[in-house]
Amino acid sequence: MKKLYTIVSILLLAATFTNAQSIFYEDFESGVPGQFTQEYIFGTTNWLGSTAGMTLGGSDPVFEGDSSAHMYGTNTEERTGLITPSLDMSASGYKLGFAHTQGNWAGDQNTLTIHYSGDDGTTWTLIDSIVDNVPNYIEVEYNLDDYVTTTATSKIRFTGYVTWGYAIGLDVVNVFLPAADDAELTNAVEPANGCGLGSETVAIEVFNNGLNTILSIDATYEVGIESESETFTVNIAAGETDTLYFSVPADLSVVGIYDFTSWIELTGDLDLT
């Protein structure tokens, strides 16, 4: 008789971006351009909102919510920008995050470029030009200090460049200063679903979403009525990931279905959700 052990659900409780200091956020739920200003660079193709008329190939029309910004045109090589208002980024450490998609249509590929201005739009510096086929929404993040010296008169411009590809989709644009201490539990590495399990190693993956290096962190897991809490000595630099292995394994020797829950706690991290 086959012994079946199933981890029916894995619940991860961890800190997220809500702990960061956001100075600009736009999800286009109230329409396009939202807080942006639209600028025609070449041609008159508009960025549009909601999900109506989106030609995104197989991609979902939005990353989250009910609306996003998208640009699609049949007049090739047209370029239109979305520009943020002036933002005070005189402090260092700011990041730009967003979600986007731009599928290839039978060899034709649209492009999204990101520029930064430190003088309220008088001059622009290229941050990135995304020319790849992106058939489904992905999240993208840039550490602006890697590209420019930010100022108190900063603007960011997204430019859509259409050349017959599937529409460019843009959503959840966020300019933020990461929290000093912010840990994110991103994945339960072990245990996994399987048969013939017994005393199983428990491991979780932690991402340092803050500015400070994490040197010590508390982690807990629960499997059924079993619970284990441990303090881990680590060295996780900002933007890096580490895997934490609990010294006490989970007892999965009894045939059945298990719920696995894990969470982390970091001193100074104000968001424990």
For 127-185, the pLDDT digits (tens) are 999 999 999 999 999 999 999 999 999 999 999 999 888 899 999 999 998 888 989 88
- What is the predicted pLDDT for the residue at 97? 95
Which pLDDT does position 33 carry in this prediction?
95
Average pLDDT over residues 13-24: 61
Residue 47, pLDDT above cutoff 90: yes
Whole-number pLDDT of residue 14: 41
Backbone φ, ψ for residue 23 (5° rounding): -105, -10
- Per-residue pLDDT reduced to its tens digit, 110-125: 999 999 999 999 999 9
pLDDT-derived band at 3 (thresholds 50, 70, 90) equals: very low
Mean per-residue pLDDT over the chain, rounded: 85
122: left (phi over 0), alpha (psi -120 to 50) or beta: alpha
Q: Is the dihedral of CA 34, 139, 239, 263 positive or negative?
A: positive
- Report residue 54's pLDDT band, with 50, 70 and 90 as the boundaries: low
Q: What percent of the chain has pLDDT over 70?
A: 85
Nearest to 187 by CA among 202, 201, 200, 204: 204
Q: What per-residue confidence (pLDDT) applies to 197?
A: 67
State phi, psi for 22 to the nearest 5 degrees: -90, 130
Tens-digit pLDDT profile for residues 187-242: 887 776 665 667 888 999 999 988 899 999 999 998 878 899 999 999 999 889 99
Q: What is the pTM assigned to this prediction?
A: 0.71
Q: Residue 162 is encoded by which pair of tokens?
A: 């259409």
Sequence-separated (6 or more) residues with CB below 8 Å from residue 179: 19, 20, 21, 209, 210, 211, 269, 270, 271
Q: What percent of the chain has pLDDT over 90?
A: 56
